[in-house]
Structure 1
Amino acid sequence: MDVLINVFVGLHIIGIASLLGGFLTQMKAMGAGTARFTPAMLHGALTMLVTGVLLVGFNEMNDGALNHVKIGVKLVVLVAILGLVYVKRDEERVAKGAFAAVGLLTVLNIFIAVLWT
């Protein structure tokens, strides 16, 4: 079970890398007001959602100690990110505030995962 959990942790990290990488590549465009949400950002957020839910299930089956409050907060932040990206995915230009919010929420989700013990 540990190997399966580690594989999905890796996939979860790939999802966050896709989401954050998509944001970082659009930062210059955000300054110019021409930023848009890329498909990589949407797919990264969806990958994070699916792998995160599966990780919770795998850890529950493995009798792992889980912090359900932390998981709930991370889920709420991810749903906010996913909602913004999904609703605005077809727009040619996304408002700077909405685009910056996705970047800040992504970084917040990373820091929650790493620092909340």
Structure 2
Amino acid sequence: MDVVINVFVALHIIGIASLLGGFLTQMKAMGAGTARFVPAMLHGAITMLVTGVILVGLNQMQDYSVNNIKIGVKLALLIVILGLVYVKRDEEKVEKPLFGLVGLLTVINIFIALLWT
């Protein structure tokens, strides 16, 4: 079962890489005011949501310790990110503060995952 959990951890990391990578590729455009939410950002957020839910379930099935408060905070941040990206996905330009907020929430989500023990 540990192999399955590790596969989903890898997929979760691929999701965050897609979300953050999509954001980083638009940084120059954000400076020019022409940034947009690219499909990689939406797909990465959805991948994170699905794999994260599966990971919680797999860990609980194995009776591993799961910090439900940490998971709840990460889930709340991800839902906000996913909602913003989904609603604004078809717009040609996204406002700088909104685009920056998605990047900030993504980085905060990463730091919570790594530093909250």
Q: Runs of 5+ in structure 2 lacking a partner?
A: none
Distance 1:29 1:61 in 2: 44
CA-CA distance at 1:17 after TM superposition: 0.1
Question: Matched residue pairs, number?
Answer: 117
CA-CA distance at 1:73 after TM superposition: 0.2
Cα RMSD over matched residues?
0.3
- Could you say which residue in structure 2 is the equivalent of 1:61? 61
CA-CA distance at 1:48 after TM superposition: 0.0
Q: Partner amino acid for 2:102?
A: V
- Could you say which residue in structure 2 is the equivalent of 1:9? 9
Distance 1:116 1:4 in 2: 23
Distance 1:97 1:42 in 2: 18
CA-CA distance at 1:61 after TM superposition: 0.3
Q: Give CA deviations for 1:63-106 in whole Å, capped at 9, x if unaligned.
A: 00010000000000000000000000000000001100000000
Do structure 1's residue 27 and structure 2's residue 27 form an aligned pair? yes
Q: Partner amino acid for 1:85?
A: V
Distance 2:116 2:53 in 1: 18
- Could you say which residue in structure 2 is the equivalent of 1:89? 89
Q: Give CA deviations for 1:24-55 in whole Å, capped at 9, x if unaligned.
A: 00000000000000000000000000000000
Q: Runs of 5+ in structure 1 lacking a partner?
A: none
- Could you say which residue in structure 2 is the equivalent of 1:108? 108
- TM-score, scaled relative to structure 2: 1.00
Distance 1:4 1:97 in 2: 39
- TM-score, scaled relative to structure 1: 1.00
Structure 1 consecutive aligned stretches of length 4 or more whose deviation exceeds 2 Å: none
